[in-house]
Structure 1
Amino acid sequence: MPFAPALTVDGLVHVSVTVALIVLVAVVLRFVVNRVIGHVAAGAGVPGMLSLLRRRRGVSDADRIEAFGSARRAQRARTVGSVIRNAATILIFGTASMMVLSQFGVNLAPVLASAGVLGLAIGFGAQNLVKDFLSGIFMLLEDQYGVGDHVDLGDAVGTIERVGLRTTTVRDVAGMVWYVRNGTIERVGNGSQDHAVAVVDVPLALDTDITRAAATAEQAATAGIDEYGHGPDVLRKPQVLGVESLSSSGMTLRLTAMTKPGRQWAVQRSMTEHVVAALRADDVVLAA
């Protein structure tokens, strides 16, 4: 790695000042970039937008919070901001290091060539790692799921406990914790976005008066929600969809209720308990 001839005193002073300026500019630039990224990730511009929406559209606070300020979006923004800050730091200080070396007369061509070969070798040896990392970034950007969501990732079904750039941690209903590499996830079923649906299927005998049974079941489902205090969790009152299936042994009556994400199971249990009790009290025969 050839160096330039020995520097004179004046040349050494010039190089020292130049190097100091390069380092100073790199530090200041990194500070500014990190601050900008931090403000963007934290949603520093949202209050102004909310004020504008308040004046022009008259939307409610709940609508504004739902549109701009959900906790999951904030978490995703912080994660993506951290990734961008790390990338910006590597780029800034990497460029500054090259500039400092050039001031001392270091020939950068062999260094860049060696770095290119090394990067190529690492790329071939860490394809899965790169795939997992890129998949994690796109997953965060697209908001496919977040902590607390109930998801079906194919091999793992359960509640998300941690979302990373390389792996996602899922705890299933039996308490087993699954560590799923982001690069292996081909599909995502998310049951916790926007809303959920509590579904109750009631097996009835073939000779059941379906009109009377449906009215009884709908009233009982509503009463169950009220008795157990699930009113705030229900976005749309229970309704009877009708006969879902028919067989030689009986038919299935289906009721549904739209709920908040993650609350469908509690609402479903309350509805089922009251519907079954009310139908039996009304002498409606349930199929085996």
Structure 2
Amino acid sequence: MNPLLSQTPQCVSEQGTWCYEVYQITHNEWLAASAGWLVAKPLKITLVLVVAIFIRWLVRKLIDRLTTLPRNNGNRKLPALLRPLRERAPSLLGPSLTERRAQRAKTIGSVLKSVTSFVVLGLAFIQVLGELGINLGPIIASAGIVGVALGFGAQNLVKDFLSGMFMMLEDQYGVGDVIDTGEASGVVESVGLRITTLRDIKGTVWYVRNGEVLRVGNSSQGFAVAVVDVPLSYTAEVDRAVEVLTEAATAAVAEEPLSSNVLEPPQALGVESVTPEGITIRLTAKVRPGKQWTVQRALRAAVLAKLEEAGFEPPIGRLLGPAGTGAQ
């Protein structure tokens, strides 16, 4: 009989070790010598995985609580995650404001959940490999090379995601805003990390990649200005026309529905331009964001009616056809 096979492992006499405990239970020398691999390491790996899964679950639950809108808050409260962040959403959005906040919080929350899963499970994976005695140096180096390769291959995707994340954090625009991205303009229907969806005035839906947006004009933040250009003939008395415009606009904004949308009294700025057809007088009014088009239409109708009552005539060129013989 080979004496090496019958040699009792030295660890069986070391109290407090897994080898000693297994030998006391089984009296099997091979099992005692392999206790580290058969008992200790599986228990450590299981413990690492259980702790990682619990931490991931706990953090995700916390993120859900931070990104959930308080119930029955009447649009007055933000999700806890958004309170430290700046919000530019106008209160006049009404029901769209709740959707805007919920979508913004949900998107940011999904990013935080993905980061949490990547970090927690990644650290757990490294811990498991360490317990198995695997050299982590080559694996980490290979992962770094693969990450660089993927980064170069998916530059546009990474660019879209980063741009979308910053748009969310800075609240550059959101659901219900009227924006102009250069190539497309319209009302924002949804904002994601990669794509922003717009619907223009004709009903066409535009899908804009966030990474391609170099500038954004937002007509729904802070305040807007309603601009009304009124054409008059050369024979019109400018000072009298400005007086009539101011009186008509002031009377119009004093009544509903304009009174709730206009922030400051209208101002007639005087002659804006001179063309071969006549002169143009500009009228402006500071209004709530997104309401400038409604106010412009109402003011235009009101001032044109007053100017006609006061005896002012439109430019001659607008009444005549191309050859000056009358409009067809």
TM-score category of the 2 structures, normalised to the smaller one? 0.7 to 0.9
Shift of residue 254, structure 1, vs aligned partner: 0.9
Superposition TM-score, scaled by structure 1 size: 0.81
Segment of structure 1 superposing worse, 234-243 or 160-169: 234-243
Matching of residues 80-91 of structure 1 within 5 Å: 80-91=108-119
Q: Which runs of 5+ in 1 are unaligned?
A: 1-5, 48-64
Asked if the contact 1:221/1:238 (under 8 Å) is kept, the reply is: yes
Q: State the distance in 1 between where 2:257 and 2:177 align.
A: 23
Q: Could you tell me how far 1:211 is from its partner in structure 2?
A: 2.3
From 31, 36, 43, give the equivalent of 2:80: 43
Asked if residue 264 in structure 1 is aligned to residue 258 in structure 2, the reply is no
Q: How does 1:134-173 map to 2 (within 5 A)?
A: 134-173=162-201
Instruction: For residue 276 of structure 1, report the CA deviation from its aligned partner.
Output: 0.6
Name the Cα RMSD after superposition. 2.7
Q: Are positions 1:180 and 2:208 aligned together?
A: yes
Structure 1 or 2: more strand by fraction: 1
Q: Secondary structure at the match of 2:263?
A: strand
Q: 1:190 aligns with which of 200, 218, 225?
A: 218
Q: Is the 8 A contact 1:221 1:270 kept in 2?
A: no
Alignment-derived partner of residue 35 in structure 2: 9
| Match in the other structure for 1:50 | none
Amino acid at match of 1:21: L
| Corresponding position of 2:259 | 231
What code does the residue aligned with 1:108 have?
A: L
2:104 to 76, 80, 90: 76
Q: Is the counterpart of residue 28 in structure 1 residue 54 in structure 2?
A: yes
- Look up the match of 2:73: none
Larger radius of gyration: 2
Deviation at 1:275, TM superposition (A): 0.7
Superposition deviation, residue 249 in structure 1: 3.2
Normalised by the size of structure 2, how large is the TM-score?
0.72
Match of 2:229 in 1: 201
Structure 1 position 228, deviation (Å) = 5.1
Aligned counterparts of 1:125 and 1:248: Cα–Cα separation in 2: 57
Shift of 1:32: 4.0
- Give aligned pairs, total: 263
8 Å CA contact 1:241–1:254 kept in 2: the answer is: yes
More helix by share: 1
Task: Provide structure 2 residue ranges, at least 5 long, that are not aligned to the other structure.
Answer: 1-30, 68-78, 85-90, 319-328
Residue 138 (structure 2) pairs with residue 105 (structure 1):
no
Conservation of the 8 A alpha-carbon contact between 1:224 and 1:273: no
1:96 matches 2:124? yes
Shift of 1:180: 1.2
